[in-house]
Structure 1
Amino acid sequence: MSLFTLGRRSNSKGFTLLEVLVAMAIFAMIALYAYRVLNQVMQADKVSQGKSARLAELQQAMLTIERDMLQLTNRQVRFPAGEKQASVLKGQHFFLDSEDDGLLFTRRGWQNPAAMLPRSEVQLAAYRLAEGKLIKDYHFYPDPEVGAEPQSLVLLTKVEAFKVRYFDGDSWQESWDASELPRAIELRLKLKDYGEITRRFAIPGPDKDEAKGGSKSDGQSGNPGIGLPGQPHDPGKGSGRSKT
């Protein structure tokens, strides 16, 4: 009788409760490890996307600054309050309500094919630091109406310091307010994530048309002894570098 009963048990189908519990525990452990791996992959992708977006922001800001600095024009600056000064570029500490250095300038070459847009090809613009952001303010016309509010564009975030120096041909100056452009400009940014970045730009000298009171829109004239426009350099050497 006992042998018959043992034979029936050995031929029965299904799993015992203990086997089911062990299987469930194994599957739960596999699911937990799979979730942890998936979560790590998603976090890594999120960090990678953030780094890529930040790098793109930095590259776009540097491109905008480079275009502005290489197309500075020898034109008198009209300040936001409306008074016109003899200076063609002005920059100093806490200028234009900046939390650090501020810079006011005019640049040419603001593309407007066939005058399709209701604005000039000469742009009155300024750089200033506010709430950790490098901001570019600009007007649609180089001589805006008194009290006209500028357009504001955030060039870069997470900025701790913004310093500008001006090369007069002999030495670097901490501020500038003159009827001529400097020979070169140095912009130094201190970022929370990338540290300090320094860029130096040779300023194109006035061409023949500008010397006679006219202007060109291509901005391709050079400044002897400083370097070619569009090439980073050290003043007086014709070659340059960007420090990070």
Structure 2
Amino acid sequence: MSRRRNRNARPGGQATAAGRRARRGFTLLEVVLAVGLALALMAAMLTFYQQATQVRASLSLEAEKIGAERAIMNLITDELRSAMAPREMGMGLEGGLGGLRVPTTCLPGAAAWIVTAATETPPPAERDVQIVGYRPRIIEDEQGQPVIVGIERTCQKNITARVAEEGREIQTLLLSPHFKFIRFRYWDGNAWIESWGGGDLPGAVEIVLGEQPLPENVEPMDYPYPIFRRVVFVPAGARTTAGTVVRGLEEGGP
């Protein structure tokens, strides 16, 4: 009889142990560790994504600045190389450290080819010469203080106008807000000088761009921040200088 009871009790004991194993779940510690691990992984992924986004934005901004610097330098270079001093205008390059104006050759705009009726007012005559200039753009902030917001280009196509006003005969264009400092110097054949006038052209022009505005009480030649520099040879001005301009550039430079 005892053997029968033991034989019958064994399956019941196995079922009870299996039930206990089946009913076992996660402990509170395991749940906390799992949630903490998931949060740590999510935080790591978000941090990596944020850093990648910041690096991408920084690289994009630097590429944009480099592209703007090259575009401004190339534009000034092209117009200085096509600069001229027409006798009938009595004007050559006029400039100082902070900006310049110079007549350059150009193609007439689309308005020059418009055919107008006899009853219509024809557009102003355009020549193949225009007066361009480069300077910082200065505006007033809310407190009325002057603020430099970028580098701008001015262009006057109607050079025969008796009175030239900005917004009418003179168009202005903001070239880039990334650069708030520009400086020019002029090669006279012997040395770099800080201003030019007199109805002729220099042999070369030094262009300096900077991202930060010039601090107060600091001279332009003492600009303390990193710069982009280029020296442009002026073909029409080479005949008015003494010596070989190209060979003398570095000797007169800083």
Question: Given the two structures, how large is their TM-score scaled by the length of structure 1?
Answer: 0.68
> Does the 8 A contact of 1:91 with 1:102 survive in 2?
yes
Q: State which drifts further: 2-11 or 178-187.
A: 2-11
Residue 76 (structure 1) shift: 5.7
Distance (whole Å) between structure 2 residues aligned to residue 168 and residue 224 of structure 1: 8
Residue matched to 2:131: 124
Distance (whole Å) between structure 1 residues aligned to residue 40 and residue 101 of structure 2: 63
Residue matched to 1:106: 103
1:174 correspondence with 2:194: yes
1:139 correspondence with 2:146: no
Residue matched to 1:235: 245
Q: How does 1:74-113 map to 2 (within 5 A)?
A: 74-75=85-86, 86-92=90-96, 101-110=98-107, 112=109
Distance (whole Å) between structure 2 residues aligned to residue 139 and residue 66 of structure 1: 18
Q: State which drifts further: 33-42 or 192-201.
A: 192-201
Q: State which drifts further: 140-149 or 177-186.
A: 140-149
Higher helix fraction: Structure 1 or Structure 2? 2
Question: Given the two structures, how large is their TM-score scaled by the length of structure 2?
Answer: 0.66
Specify which of 170, 175, 185 is matched with residue 205 of structure 2. 185
Specify which of 235, 243, 254 is matched with residue 204 of structure 1. 235
- Secondary structure of 2:190's aligned partner: coil
Cα 1:116–1:49 shift into 2, 3 Å: farther
> Does the 8 A contact of 1:128 with 1:136 survive in 2?
yes
Specify which of 152, 156, 159 is matched with residue 172 of structure 2. 152
> Does the 8 A contact of 2:151 with 2:180 survive in 1?
no
Task: Name the count of aligned residue pairs.
Answer: 206
Q: State which drifts further: 42-51 or 172-181.
A: 172-181
1:198 maps to amino acid: R
> Does the 8 A contact of 1:225 with 1:236 survive in 2?
no
- Secondary structure of 1:10's aligned partner: helix
- Secondary structure of 2:247's aligned partner: coil
Specify which of 35, 47, 51 is matched with residue 24 of structure 1. 35
Distance (whole Å) between structure 2 residues aligned to residue 199 and residue 76 of structure 1: 29
Specify which of 59, 65, 77 is matched with residue 48 of structure 1. 59
Distance (whole Å) between structure 1 residues aligned to residue 200 and residue 241 of structure 2: 17
Distance (whole Å) between structure 2 residues aligned to residue 125 and residue 67 of structure 1: 12
Specify which of 154, 165, 190 is matched with residue 185 of structure 2. 165
Distance (whole Å) between structure 2 residues aligned to residue 15 and residue 188 of structure 1: 69
- Secondary structure of 1:153's aligned partner: strand
Superposed CA offset, 1:128-151 (max 9, x none)? 123152211112322335143221
- Secondary structure of 2:96's aligned partner: strand
Residue 48 (structure 1) shift: 1.2
Residue 112 (structure 1) shift: 4.3
Distance (whole Å) between structure 1 residues aligned to residue 38 and residue 50 of structure 2: 18
Residue matched to 1:33: 44
1:123 maps to amino acid: Q
Which protein shows a greater Rg? 2
